Amino acid sequence: MASATFLSTLSLANKNYLLLTPTHACAKGYTNNFRVSNLPSIVVRKEGSVRSQGFVAMQEKGGSTLSDDSRTKTPHVLTVAGSDSGAGAGIQADLKACAARGVYCSTVITALTAQNTVGVQGASNVPEDFVAQQLKSVLSDMQVDVVKTGMLPSVGIVKTLCRTLREYPVHALVVDPVMVSTSGDVLAGPSILSTFREELLPMADIITPNLKEASALLNGMQLETVDDMRSAARLLHNMGPKNVLVKGGDLPDSSDAVDILYNGHNFYELRSPRIRTRNTHGTGCSLASSIAAEVAKGYPMLSAVKVAKRFVETALDYSKEIVIGNGPQGPFDHLLRLKSHSQDCHRQQPFDPSDLFLYAVTDSRMNKRWGRSIVDAVKAAIDGGATIIQLREKDAETKDFLESAKACLRICRLHGVPLLINDRVDVAIACDADGVHVGQSDMPACVARTLLGPEKIIGVSCKTPEQAEQAWVDGADYIGCGGVYPTNTKENNITVGLNGLKTVCMASKLPVVAIGGIGVSNARAVMEIRTPNLKGVAVVSALFDRECVQTETRKLHEVLLGSNIGST
């Protein structure tokens, strides 16, 4: 193995950074029996603040040379567990949890189970030597940071794992001592207990038993109170793991979910409100995998447990209503995406450029002047024929803006009209709007895209072909081009005129909506530049600085229909 001092000779091309040696790493909590090839490196600024955490790739066992650069390594969890055909628990839950927590997850399958939300209908163990082969395949090739174990159905498989881990030590071992499924089916019998106690637990950085598992490991000890959990944690700690997390989810008479973490010195009582849901299948596997994921990223154990618990609770809460399977214990959604929306309140359609036909952009000052609420303004515009709405509330307090946006969204969803938020990506995310419109000095579209995901609509204001090209590169869906005419609505706005509009349209790979000083009197002239990707007009004052928004919108709608745009 490369010596520890060898690492301290490392330096980066950029002399402003230091690479922490194993001594530093140990001080940061990386104290386990990791192999040097997995040694986490922490790059810090000279003045001491952590810049990034990563892992330096080193030559496999026995090597004393580092790889030729200081590429950061993807945190990697290897799960050694059983397959759940229903995909709520086991290997499948581990993969989803790790993906959700942003770490790579490889898999060694110990057993196949025929399983669903009703229970476990069948199980078949993978032969020991094939478990050994899978372990070797992964550990001899990939730089695994943390091994997480789930269903280990035979003494032979536990022994195989322990033997392999001695041969290929990793940074940390997270043991979820799975014995009984949530449905009550036995996944690892009592014969396994002594091997757990004698071989596996002493190697573990953390074990995560629930009350039944803790009781089984402690020869049937009664666990009914939080004090009992503390006693159990202490007794289990005596068996050798560095940390014990006794999960109190099954504790009777408790409105909170209480877990006890014990590290041999301190007890931490981790409480959170109990989430009432049938969708708890796979909670234990997901929690252990999430802890493994956070440890793989370099978090100390207490932080890893807290973050993992918060993640699982959020996912459970989010998934309260999802319905998968007919049994009593449904899976939950790790990626927070399956939440059911009723058909009429969830935008199902991808962005349709023809939605830009009559684009109504609100203005808080105008609404105030005419004594109408933003919700009433939006309703009236939709009734008049607006095909897309943008909330451009420059003076609104964030809290009020969010509330109004939610109310407007309900109306827009009912009518199938997309609702975008001007400038405020945070508000768009918070209310689950259909997208945002950003200008050249707002959040860059590529960043908004990362935050909003691939499906939301992003519009970008562009006055030049170069800006239009950048909007395309950044992943925008459309551009707004203006000011076509002078406007009082936006201060110091440069007017590009019909020629400028045409130039941008011809250069743009994205659909275009024209904006600035447009109303009933000139909308036709705008559309008559007749470039195929000019799809409509965006209008503020000609709709909202008027007594009757609905009437003005209807008039503009008629003009636009007359100009036969969007059809070329």
Helix (H) or strand (E) holding 135: helix 128-139
- Catalytic positions are 247, 280, 282-285
CA distances from 16 to 8, 43, 51, 56 (A): 16, 10, 11, 18
Q: Residue 408 contacts by C-beta under 8 Å, 6 or more apart in sequence?
A: 374, 375, 378, 389, 391, 419
DSSP 162: H
Q: Is the CB of 120 or the CB of 382 nearer to ligand LCLJCK34?
A: 382
Closest CA to 422 of 414, 410, 408, 411: 408
Which one among 86, 298, 459, 511 touches ligand LCLJCK34, defined by CB under 6 A? Answer: 459
Helix (H) or strand (E) holding 382: helix 374-384
351 near ligand LCLJCK34 (CB under 6 A): no
392 near ligand LCLJCK34 (CB under 6 A): yes
The site partner of 540 among Mg ion, ligand LCLJCK34, ligand 3NM, none (C-beta below 5 to 8 Å per kind) is ligand 3NM
Please give the residues from 409 up to 428 whose contact with ligand LCLJCK34 meets the rule CB under 6 A: 422-423
367 near ligand 3NM (CB under 6 A): no
Q: How far apart are CA 253 and CA 224, in angstroms?
A: 9
Angle at 69 between CA 65 and CA 75, to 5 degrees: 95
298 near ligand LCLJCK34 (CB under 6 A): no
- Contact window for ligand 3NM (CB under 6 A) among 209-217, 288-296, 426-434, 512-520: 512-520
482 near ligand 3NM (CB under 6 A): yes
Q: Minimal CB distance to Mg ion: which residue?
A: 439
Helix or strand or coil: residue 190? helix
Please give the residues from 309 up to 328 whose contact with ligand 3NM meets the rule CB under 6 A: none
H helix runs in 434-481, sequence order: 445-452, 465-473
**Least distance CB 517 / ligand 3NM (angstroms):** 4
Closest CA to 277 of 314, 329, 327: 329
Helix (H) or strand (E) holding 248: none
For residue 283, report the phi and psi dihedrals to the nearest 5 degrees: -60, -45
- Contact window for ligand LCLJCK34 (CB under 6 A) among 300-308, 368-376, 434-442, 524-532: 434-442
Amino acid at 428: A
Which one among 333, 352, 383, 442 touches ligand LCLJCK34, defined by CB under 6 A? Answer: 442
**Least distance CB 477 / ligand 3NM (angstroms):** 16
Q: Is the CB of 334 or the CB of 437 nearer to ligand LCLJCK34?
A: 437
515 near ligand 3NM (CB under 6 A): yes
Q: How far apart are CA 100 and CA 332, in angstroms?
A: 13
Yes or no: say if 149 and 360 are a contact pair by the CB < 8 Å rule.
Answer: no
Closest CA to 112 of 120, 103, 102: 120
Q: Residue 535 contacts by C-beta under 8 Å, 6 or more apart in sequence?
A: 353, 354, 356, 357, 478, 511, 512, 513, 565, 566
E strand segments, 85-222: 104-115, 120-125, 146-149, 172-175, 206-207
Using the structure block, give the residue that is written with the tokens 């691939």: 454
385 near ligand 3NM (CB under 6 A): no
- Contact window for ligand LCLJCK34 (CB under 6 A) among 67-75, 133-141, 407-415, 435-443: 435-443
Which one among 101, 437, 535, 555 touches ligand LCLJCK34, defined by CB under 6 A? Answer: 437
For residue 461, report the phi and psi dihedrals to the nearest 5 degrees: -75, 130
Q: How many residues does the chain have?
A: 568
**Least distance CB 34 / ligand 3NM (angstroms):** 55
The site partner of 359 among Mg ion, ligand LCLJCK34, ligand 3NM, none (C-beta below 5 to 8 Å per kind) is ligand LCLJCK34
The site partner of 556 among Mg ion, ligand 3NM, ligand LCLJCK34, none (C-beta below 5 to 8 Å per kind) is none
Closest CA to 144 of 127, 168, 166, 111: 168
The site partner of 483 among ligand 3NM, Mg ion, ligand LCLJCK34, none (C-beta below 5 to 8 Å per kind) is ligand 3NM
- Contact window for ligand 3NM (CB under 6 A) among 183-191, 371-379, 466-474, 538-546: 538-546
Contacting residues toward ligand 3NM, per CB under 6 A: 461, 480, 482-483, 487, 489-490, 493, 515-518, 539-542
Residues at the site binding ligand LCLJCK34, with contacts judged by CB under 6 A:
359, 361, 390, 392, 422-423, 437-439, 442, 459, 461, 480, 490, 513, 515, 538
